[in-house]
Amino acid sequence: MASGHANGSQSPQGRASMQRTTFREMVHQAFQGAIERAFPDLPNQQAVVAPTGNPKIADYQCNNAMIISGRLPQPPKEKPAPAENGQEKPKLSKAEQKKLKAAEQEARNKLQNKVAQQIIDALPESLPMIAGRPATAGGAFINMRVDTAWMGQVVQSMLVEGIDKWAPRLPHKRAVIDFSSPNVAKEMHVGHLRSTILGDTLARTLEYCGLEVVRLNHVGDWGTQFGMLIQYIAESRPGGINDTNIEHEDLGQLQALYKKSKERFDADPEFKERAKAAVGRLQGGDAECLQAWQRICKASRQAFQAVYDRLGVKLEERGESFYNPFLASLVEELAGQGIIEDSNGAKVVWVEGQENPLIVQKADGAFLYGTTDLAAIRHRLQTEKGDWLIYVTDLGQAGHFDLVFGSAKKAGFILPKDDPGHPRIDHVGFGLVLGADGKRIRTRSGGDNVRLSELLDEAKERCQTTIKDRREDIGEEELDMASSAMGYGAIKYADLKNHRTTNYKFDFDAMCDLKGNTAVYLLYAHARIASIVRKADRPEVSDGSLAKSASIDLEHPAEVALALHLIRFPEALEDMLEDLTPNRLTEYLYILSDKFNTFYTNCHVIGEAQEDSRLLLVQSVAVVMRQCFHLLGLTPLYRI
Ligand code: ARG
């Protein structure tokens, strides 16, 4: 498996220059040039080349002739004979009108076809990726088929050179992705799970594309609630503020502590005052308060880390507290720039087009969530030198990020569009996770909060049963490994396959289904493919020497369709990165396994004259599948 990623070992530019041009890009370039040569007087004609909906006609089509012919001087309309000296125009009969219309239509068709022909004639002589010459079927569309010999070579070169060469080229160098980001002393909820899964896939994909990726966990570890917690601990625990047992508390216990302290805070005005004083001491650097705060953070961190470990997600903790030292001077600076206004004693920044301002400091002097985000965006741009910032949170925070990005622009942290240092910044918003009944999600233990660890446990248990049913002889260790891979994979895939902005139902039955569009199905599909290669028992396949000696000859339509889908892998990734929607990748993967099934039903592999070629094709399917798994955070299985 190609899992070694050239992270850091090579400059992103170095990687990019090694990456191969996709079919789509090659054809696009050829047509762009042809259009410019054939119609030099029509500026800004973007070549439009896309896969066809109907593979019986062609693999790809170019439809520029339609647009271009509309912009050219039109052929004279067939006019009825002019009316004589002021008399009424003679009315046309229905039949005559019809004839006239048909004649006009024909003239249009002719022109469109002529334009299409002109584009074809202006294409370069040599188009190795296309079978024969692109041609029209008499109309405006230019049809083409991918050359099968060329396609076979591309697939084969992937086996020889590695799948890293198929990563899309991106203009960015360093991405900073803010994801997961749960809150200290609170249960990590399903929204945080969704952020973790989405963010990890985006991070993995950008890493694959050769970017340096900083994966930041912007945990909520600062704010007035800590004064409340610390004061409550000081007053209710046997050890008082110095109670070290806090450090070993699990999230459920911490959450209960949080709840009780909040109740007290709301009900008891004197406690409220003492809690406020504790915030002051904490911010002033009081050692006891700081230690109590650190114990709470440590306990939460351990619980979060346990989830990340199970999911195989890497994150660097850089919580809100990290930015605390920058807040006061930041607000001063903004005031100096004249972009701060007063609103009932609070300091705010207005952003054009937004109904409310971003509050950066309350009347009582406290800083807020948004102040921290403003300091954070500046740090990520100016210190981290990120040229692509990504924030993965629920859609409910979209308004907050509009304000943060707008304020950062106003403050000059985000350079304008025409500046070469202009960064790409995305808020990747997502919808809700609901229970299978469409209501709020619950776990078996019930209660107010879903424990993420319980969700993970249940998915794993269910997969354990599935695996045991099919392989009674499986050993303990392998069973544990496989059921983790399948169970956690099922949860991740069920999340990623939905468009991120939709609400989806967390449904164990659906996500663990062996036959649906699930990770379970796909992991088994991969294991089946791996078993074909095993059965062939040809060491030349696994050691890579067959890929250097034999060639992939695509003959059967199912082979051609499969290879065509394989070479579209980078295109699927480009599409996914355009609007940061991993469901485009899951869709790609699901179709890949479908095309493989059609191939395998129609084409025997072992013992056939085409064995070498087909084994290589099978092997490349497995490689691409594993790369998809890697990007989706799934661990491949090799045996059923
Ligand atoms: N802690 C926040 C929450 O649970 C998410 C933080 C997202 N990141 C950020 N930079 N604001 O909703």
Complex ipTM value: 0.99
* Range among 89-93, 542-546, 620-624 with highest mean pLDDT value: 620-624
Q: How much is the pLDDT for 474?
A: 93
- The alpha carbon of 391 and the centre of ligand 1 are apart by a number of angstroms equal to 9
- The alpha carbon of 583 and the centre of ligand 1 are apart by a number of angstroms equal to 23
- The answer on pLDDT for 9 being more than 60 is no
Q: Which tens digit of pLDDT belongs to each residue from 16-66?
A: 445 678 899 999 999 999 999 999 999 889 999 999 888 889 999 999 999
Instruction: Give the mean model confidence (pLDDT) for residues 434-446.
Output: 77
Q: How much is the pLDDT for 230?
A: 96
91 or 36: which leads in pLDDT: 36
Instruction: Give the mean model confidence (pLDDT) for residues 577-594.
Output: 98
Atom in ligand 1 nearest the alpha carbon of residue 376? 10
Helix-then-strand count for the chain, H and E:
23, 14
Choice from 176, 178, 181 to test ligand 1 binding pocket (greatest atom count within 8 A of CB): 181
Q: Report which DSSP code applies to 130.
A: B
Per DSSP bridges, beta strands 388-394 and 424-430 are: parallel
Give, for 389, the enclosing helix (H) or strand (E).
strand 388-394
pLDDT above 90: percentage of residues in the chain: 81
- The answer on pLDDT for 90 being more than 80 is no
Residues facing 214 on adjacent strands: 176
- The alpha carbon of 182 and the centre of ligand 1 are apart by a number of angstroms equal to 7
Instruction: Give the mean model confidence (pLDDT) for residues 364-375.
Output: 95
Distance CA 628, CA 175 (A): 20
Closest residue by Cα to atom 11, ligand 1, is: 373
Calculate helix-pair angle for 452-470, 287-311, nearest 10 degrees: 20
Distance CA 451, CA 458 (A): 11
User: Whose CA is closest to 50, among 23, 69, 71, 68?
Assistant: 23
Instruction: Give the mean model confidence (pLDDT) for residues 199-224.
Output: 97
Question: Do residues 586 and 490 lie in contact, with contact meaning Cβ atoms separated by under 8 Å?
Answer: no
Closest residue by Cα to atom 4, ligand 1, is: 182
Residues ≥6 apart with Cβ < 8 Å to 7? 207, 212, 213
- The answer on pLDDT for 83 being more than 70 is no
Closest residue by Cα to atom 5, ligand 1, is: 181
- The alpha carbon of 195 and the centre of ligand 1 are apart by a number of angstroms equal to 10
User: Whose CA is closest to 141, among 56, 60, 27?
Assistant: 60
Closest residue by Cα to atom 9, ligand 1, is: 218
Atom in ligand 1 nearest the alpha carbon of residue 369? 11
- The alpha carbon of 491 and the centre of ligand 1 are apart by a number of angstroms equal to 22
Closest residue by Cα to atom 8, ligand 1, is: 218
Dmax (CA) of the chain: 111
Residues facing 174 on adjacent strands: 212
Task: Give me the chain's average pLDDT, please.
Answer: 92
- The answer on pLDDT for 292 being more than 90 is yes
Q: How much is the pLDDT for 77?
A: 64
Identify residue 166 by its one-letter amino acid code: W
pLDDT band at residue 11 under the 50/70/90 scheme: very low
Distance CA 499, CA 504 (A): 9
Give, for 61, the enclosing helix (H) or strand (E).
strand 60-62
510 or 448: which leads in pLDDT: 510
- The answer on pLDDT for 79 being more than 70 is no
- The alpha carbon of 319 and the centre of ligand 1 are apart by a number of angstroms equal to 9
pLDDT band at residue 154 under the 50/70/90 scheme: very high
- The alpha carbon of 358 and the centre of ligand 1 are apart by a number of angstroms equal to 16
- What is the value of pTM for the model shown? 0.91
Instruction: Give the mean model confidence (pLDDT) for residues 571-581.
Output: 97
Structure tokens at 183: 């809150």
- The alpha carbon of 178 and the centre of ligand 1 are apart by a number of angstroms equal to 8
- The answer on pLDDT for 293 being more than 80 is yes
Closest residue by Cα to atom 3, ligand 1, is: 182
Residue whose pair of structure tokens reads 């049963």 in the numeric block: 465
pLDDT band at residue 124 under the 50/70/90 scheme: very high
pLDDT band at residue 371 under the 50/70/90 scheme: very high
pLDDT band at residue 5 under the 50/70/90 scheme: very low
User: Whose CA is closest to 532, among 624, 604, 634?
Assistant: 604
Q: How much is the pLDDT for 1?
A: 33
Q: How much is the pLDDT for 438?
A: 85
Per DSSP bridges, beta strands 212-217 and 174-178 are: parallel
User: Whose CA is closest to 125, among 37, 30, 40, 45?
Assistant: 30
Question: Do residues 501 and 395 lie in contact, with contact meaning Cβ atoms separated by under 8 Å?
Answer: yes
Name the 3-class secondary structure at 28: helix
Report the Cα 337 to chain-centroid distance in Å: 37
Q: How much is the pLDDT for 549?
A: 93
Question: Do residues 379 and 323 lie in contact, with contact meaning Cβ atoms separated by under 8 Å?
Answer: yes
Choice from 317, 394, 397 to test ligand 1 binding pocket (greatest atom count within 8 A of CB): 397
Atom in ligand 1 nearest the alpha carbon of residue 220? 1
250 or 393: which leads in pLDDT: 393
Distance CA 231, CA 21 (A): 61
- The alpha carbon of 502 and the centre of ligand 1 are apart by a number of angstroms equal to 20
- The alpha carbon of 218 and the centre of ligand 1 are apart by a number of angstroms equal to 6
Name the 3-class secondary structure at 129: coil
Q: How much is the pLDDT for 88?
A: 61
Structure tokens at 632: 């989706």
Closest residue by Cα to atom 7, ligand 1, is: 181
Question: Do residues 190 and 585 lie in contact, with contact meaning Cβ atoms separated by under 8 Å?
Answer: no
Distance CA 211, CA 196 (A): 19
- The answer on pLDDT for 223 being more than 80 is yes
Q: Which tens digit of pLDDT belongs to each residue from 445-501?
A: 655 667 888 999 999 999 999 999 999 999 999 999 999 999 999 999 999 999 999
- The alpha carbon of 537 and the centre of ligand 1 are apart by a number of angstroms equal to 51
Q: How much is the pLDDT for 443?
A: 65
Atom in ligand 1 nearest the alpha carbon of residue 192? 4
Choice from 183, 218, 380, 432 to test ligand 1 binding pocket (greatest atom count within 8 A of CB): 218
- The alpha carbon of 321 and the centre of ligand 1 are apart by a number of angstroms equal to 13
pLDDT band at residue 73 under the 50/70/90 scheme: confident
Q: Which tens digit of pLDDT belongs to each residue from 248-288?
A: 988 888 889 999 999 999 999 999 999 999 999 998 899 99
Residues with CB under 6 A from ligand 1: 178, 181-183, 218, 220, 373, 376, 391, 393
